[in-house]
Amino acid sequence: MTISPSITSPERRPFRLVGLLPWLFAAVVVGYAMVVGGYAATVVSFALIYAVFVTGLNLFMGFAAQVSFGQNAFAAIGGYGSAVLTATYGWSPLPAMVFGIAAAVLAAAIVGFPALRLKGHYLAMGTLAIGLITYEITVEWQSVTQGYLGISGIPPFGIGSWEVTSDRGQLVMLSLVVAACAFAAARIRRSRFGRALSAVAGSEEAATALGIDVSRYKLMAFLLSAGFAALAGSLFVHVVGYVSPEVFGLHMVIVTFTMLYVGGIGTVAGPLVGALIVSLLPETFRAFKDYQDLAYGAALILLLIYAPRGLASLFAPRGRS
């Protein structure tokens, strides 16, 4: 990685005000959407769902400095798991979501075990292949996924008779989920597990020499990351009420990488900030709908070249340079 994370545990710093800025920004954006409601609430809801996904991506890529182009596969499993079980088999959303996430983590364990032995471009391509295979399956397995048509009529998220149907209600629910995810990420980073991942990111050989079971920690980070992705996929289908293969296609890979790099890879606040900025910016240029992917791609290239540590790193100089 371009960042070489410090191997020692991140110390608590007395000066924390600047570190709060990204959270403040997120709170303002979510608060604004909550007040205005309607379309703004929808856009911010999507951003929060992406934030869950990117938080997971960040665990694997930012904390552990591994590469996966295939996390969209697990979002697809989580999303389709929820969609099929609720819309086709009439399950209620919560067990469907849990089942979807469990299936995604299981799939991640099955493919992760051999895939994570790979390094460099082999790993990149292997994971990309996993994402593409999943996409093809969602297109071709029509008896279950209804192919390109997609599945509609997915119920909104709820527990028992309590359902989240209003825009604002969804926003509150998603904000809570994102806050929980960010909290989990922050805790993980400070934990023994997080420090082990930092060590793996710094040097696998050195980590091994320190007695860290590198392949086990990499697999654990991969499973966690897949769990986050599946959660995001499941949240998406319940919020939108519809799913099609395109939702979890290559577009998702590019968008989420842009979010990760805009926000700042390896930081705790980065995924949320990145997801909000990347989701909101195109909305201010809505006249240029055709140019969106073009803009994402170009922005990503510029960021990689000129600001590989992203925007959150400007707010939170955690002494990692």
Partner 1 sequence: MADWSYIPQVLVSGLGIGCVYGLIGIGFCVIYNASGIVNFAQGAFVMLGGMITQVLFSRSGVPLPVAALIAIAAVAVLGVAIERVVVRPLWNRKATMFVMILATLAAQIVIERLTLIAVGDQPKTLPVFTDRPPLMFGSVAVGYQLIWIVGGSLAIVGLLAAFFGLTRTGKAMRACSINREAAALQGIPVSRMLALAFALSAALGAIAGILITPTQYTAFNVGVPFAISGFIAAIVGGFGRPFGAFLGGLLLGLLQALAIVGFGAGLKNVAALSVLLLFLFIRPSGILGAAK
Q: How many other C-beta atoms lie within 10 A of the C-beta of residue 27? A: 13
| Cα–Cα distance measured from residue 103 to residue 6, given in angstroms and rounded to the nearest whole number | 34
The nearer residue to partner 1, 52 or 61, going by C-beta atoms, is 61
What is the contact surface with partner 1 in residues (CB under 8 A)? 1-2, 67, 69, 111, 114-115, 117-118, 120-122, 124-126, 128-130, 132-133, 136-137, 139-140, 250, 254, 257, 290-291, 293-294, 296-298, 300-301, 304-305, 308
Q: Closest distance between partner 1 and the C-beta of residue 158, in Å?
A: 36
Q: Closest distance between partner 1 and the C-beta of residue 118, in Å?
A: 6
Phi then psi for residue 210, to 5 deg, are: -80, 0
Contacts of 46 (CB under 8 A, 6+ apart): 236, 239, 279
Q: Closest distance between partner 1 and the C-beta of residue 129, in Å?
A: 4
The nearer residue to partner 1, 104 or 300, going by C-beta atoms, is 300
| Cα–Cα distance measured from residue 61 to residue 275, given in angstroms and rounded to the nearest whole number | 16
Tell me the one-letter amino acid at 23.
Answer: W
The nearer residue to partner 1, 130 or 224, going by C-beta atoms, is 130
The nearer residue to partner 1, 179 or 254, going by C-beta atoms, is 254
Q: Closest distance between partner 1 and the C-beta of residue 115, in Å?
A: 7
Phi then psi for residue 211, to 5 deg, are: 90, 20
Q: How many other C-beta atoms lie within 10 A of the C-beta of residue 52? A: 28
Tell me the one-letter amino acid at 35.
Answer: V
Residue 88: burial class (beta carbons within 10 Å; 0-12, 13-18, 19+): middle
Q: Closest distance between partner 1 and the C-beta of residue 243, in Å?
A: 19
